[in-house]
């Protein structure tokens, strides 16, 4: 299956009222876990890489491994830049063959966000690449940007349509109460579905993206803590809320923390149970299998994108 943009994926998802999983990939095991799951479930999938993933592994390594994964699969895959911070990183990824980029201008003032997004859209569209933009600010940490809860702000539904029209972006990441990382809520989880409803209504069903959408799977959290970790009080988005978001017009659901958690839990357990091992293929192989299982569960029970190729 050729590398695709997210355009057709999103159109079908909107019609079918399901969502596409966008999984952050940082190394070979994660790429293999994600593609194996998508292939087994016959689900479209987005492999996304953050600027710090690119810094860690190298754009050429990540691109080459992802292309091999795509060549060995029959499902539609988009390669996406997650949280592009400036025009240059977006251009670098577009030139390297990504089919989709995110320009995250949310830290800028509204008009600056528009100008920056517009510049990326013009370049991307001239190369057949689609662009995700962000309006509103999520709390939490992404790359080196740390947005405190006080600085976070919900997306203004009245601004959303104007922003889309002025920038020409292809999808919009919104802030409705999710945040990045493992600590999303202090008390009872709460998302502003009223704001999401207004955004969908005012933008006439424009493709909406939900960041910070990991559920911080309790089973893996417990496994981390049981085998020497210390991640107390972490909490993610309950599955029923993610299902509801998918029904309401969210077509792309971003998950990174759940992959990190599955991988870390698996490695902690394996090493604790095999004190004499030095074969990295043992624990990395097991971690890859757990990521695959986790992504299969997401596709079936959260996204509903199985058998949708
Ligand atoms: O949204 C942020 C993602 O979890 C990426 O995290 O910048 O540490 O790779 P990262
Ligand atoms: P999580 O931290 O909830 O996995 O969110 C990831 C994300 O939004 C990547 O862009
Ligand atoms: Zn994000």
Known catalytic residues? 82
Rg value, the chain, Cα: 18
Residue bearing the CA closest to ligand 2, atom 3: 212
Q: Residue 104 Cα, ligand 1 centroid: separation in angstroms?
A: 12
Q: What is the pLDDT of residue 149?
A: 59
Shortest-distance ligand to the CA of residue 145? 1
Nearest atom in ligand 1 to the alpha carbon of residue 180 is 1
Q: Residue 19 Cα, ligand 3 centroid: separation in angstroms?
A: 16
Three-state secondary structure call for residue 185: coil
pTM attached to this predicted model:
0.96
Q: Which long-range contacts (CB under 8 A, 24 or more apart) does 146-154 make?
A: 147/107, 149/179, 152/179, 154/192, 154/195
Ion ligand 3 nearby residues (CB, 5 A): 211, 254
Half-sphere CA count of 37, side-chain side, radius 13 A = 28
pLDDT for 241-284, tens place per residue? 999 999 999 999 999 999 999 999 999 999 999 999 999 999 99
Cα separation of 183 and 161, whole Å? 31
Residue bearing the CA closest to ligand 1, atom 2: 142
Q: Please, which residues have CB within 8 angstroms of residue 253's CB and are 6 or more apart in sequence?
A: 19, 20, 21, 22, 209, 210, 213, 242, 245, 246, 302, 303
Q: Which ranges of 17-86 does DSSP label H, i.e. alpha helix?
A: 28-41, 51-57, 59-71
Q: What is the pLDDT of residue 2?
A: 79
Q: Which of 173, 210, 256, 294 for a ligand 2 pocket mutation test, highest count of atoms within 8 Å of Cβ?
A: 256
Nearest atom in ligand 1 to the alpha carbon of residue 181 is 4
Domain spanning 6-303: CATH 3.20.20.70 = yes
Q: What is the pLDDT of residue 138?
A: 87
Q: What is the pLDDT of residue 148?
A: 58
Cα separation of 105 and 303, whole Å? 27
**CB distance 129 to 100 below 8 Å:** yes
Cα separation of 99 and 228, whole Å? 40
Cα separation of 105 and 137, whole Å? 10
Shortest-distance ligand to the CA of residue 146? 1
> 258: Cβ below 6 Å to ligand 1?
no
**CB distance 233 to 278 below 8 Å:** no
Shortest-distance ligand to the CA of residue 253? 2
> 25: Cβ below 6 Å to ligand 1?
no
Nearest atom in ligand 2 to the alpha carbon of residue 211 is 8
Q: Residue 181 Cα, ligand 1 centroid: separation in angstroms?
A: 8
Ligand 2 binding residues, C-beta < 6 A:
24, 82-83, 180-181, 211-214, 254-258
Q: Would you write out the chain's pLDDT as a tens digit for each of its 309 residues? A: 679 999 999 999 999 999 999 999 999 999 999 999 999 999 999 999 999 999 999 999 999 999 999 999 999 999 999 999 999 999 999 999 999 999 999 999 999 999 999 999 999 999 999 999 999 998 765 555 555 555 568 999 999 999 999 999 999 999 999 999 999 998 999 999 999 999 999 999 999 999 999 999 999 999 999 999 999 989 999 999 999 999 999 999 999 999 999 999 999 999 999 999 999 999 999 999 999 999 999 999 999 999 999
Torsion of CA 164, 166, 170, 174, to 10 degrees: -30
Q: What is the pLDDT of residue 70?
A: 97
Residue bearing the CA closest to ligand 1, atom 1: 142
Q: What is the pLDDT of residue 142?
A: 52
Residue bearing the CA closest to ligand 2, atom 1: 212
């Amino acid at each position: 299956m050729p590398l695709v943009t997210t355009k057709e994926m999103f159109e079908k998802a909107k019609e079918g009222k399901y969502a596409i999983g966008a999984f952050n990939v940082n190394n070979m095991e994660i790429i293999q876990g994600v593609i194996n799951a998508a292939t087994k479930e016959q689900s479209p999938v987005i492999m996304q890489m953050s600027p710090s993933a690119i810094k860690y592994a190298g754009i050429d390594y990540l691109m080459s491994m992802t292309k091999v994964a795509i060549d060995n699969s029959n499902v539609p895959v988009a390669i996406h830049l997650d949280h592009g911070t400036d025009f240059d990183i977006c251009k670098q990824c577009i030139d390297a063959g990504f089919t989709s980029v995110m320009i995250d201008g949310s830290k800028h003032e509204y008009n600056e966000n528009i100008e920056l997004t517009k510049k990326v859209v013009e370049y991307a569209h001239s190369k057949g690449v689609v662009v995700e933009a962000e309006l509103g600010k999520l709390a939490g940490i992404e790359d080196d940007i740390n947005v405190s809860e006080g600085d976070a702000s919900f997306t203004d539904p009245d601004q959303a349509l104007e922003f889309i029209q002025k920038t020409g972006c292809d999808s919009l990441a919104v802030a409705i109460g999710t945040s990045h990382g493992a600590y999303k809520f202090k008390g009872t989880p709460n998302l502003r579905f009223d704001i999401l409803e207004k955004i969908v209504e005012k933008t006439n069903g424009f493709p909406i993206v939900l960041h910070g959408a990991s559920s911080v799977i309790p089973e893996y959290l417990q496994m981390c803590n049981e085998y020497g970790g210390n991640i107390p009080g972490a909490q993610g988005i309950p599955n029923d809320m993610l299902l509801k978001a998918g029904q309401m017009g969210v077509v792309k659901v971003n998950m990174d923390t759940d992959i990190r958690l599955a991988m870390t839990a698996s490695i902690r357990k394996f090493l604790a149970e095999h004190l004499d091992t030095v074969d990295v293929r043992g624990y990395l192989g097991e971690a890859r299998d757990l990521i695959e299982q986790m992504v299969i569960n997401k596709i079936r029970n959260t996204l509903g994108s199985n058998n949708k190729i």
